[in-house]
């Protein structure tokens, strides 16, 4: 694999994975009730949990 392809995968891979999780969550919410609701909450919660984890993990810069 070329260096350029590795860089593109490193940069856009996580964003694409979050987008796919969001799409899966939205589609499962539209499909039905019951188990589909649980799947929807799970997949829509993944991007939110990752964003919260990244914001907490980032240390504030001292001025």
pTM of the model: 0.74
Angle subtended by helix axes 35-57 and 3-31, to nearest 10: 140
Q: Which residues of the chain have pLDDT under 50?
A: none
Q: What is the pLDDT of residue 4?
A: 87
Distance of CA 49 to the CA centre of its chain: 8
The 3-state secondary structure of the chain reads CCHHHHHHHHHHHHHHHHHHHHHHHHHHHHHCCCHHHHHHHHHHHHHHHHHHHHHHHCCCCCC
Domain boundaries, the chain: 18-63
């Amino acid at each position: 694999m070329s260096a350029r392809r590795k860089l593109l995968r490193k940069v856009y891979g996580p964003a694409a994975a979050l987008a796919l999780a969001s799409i899966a969550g939205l589609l499962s919410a539209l499909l039905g009730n019951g188990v589909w609701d649980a799947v929807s909450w799970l997949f829509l919660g993944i991007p939110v949990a990752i964003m919260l984890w990244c914001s907490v993990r980032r240390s504030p810069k001292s001025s």
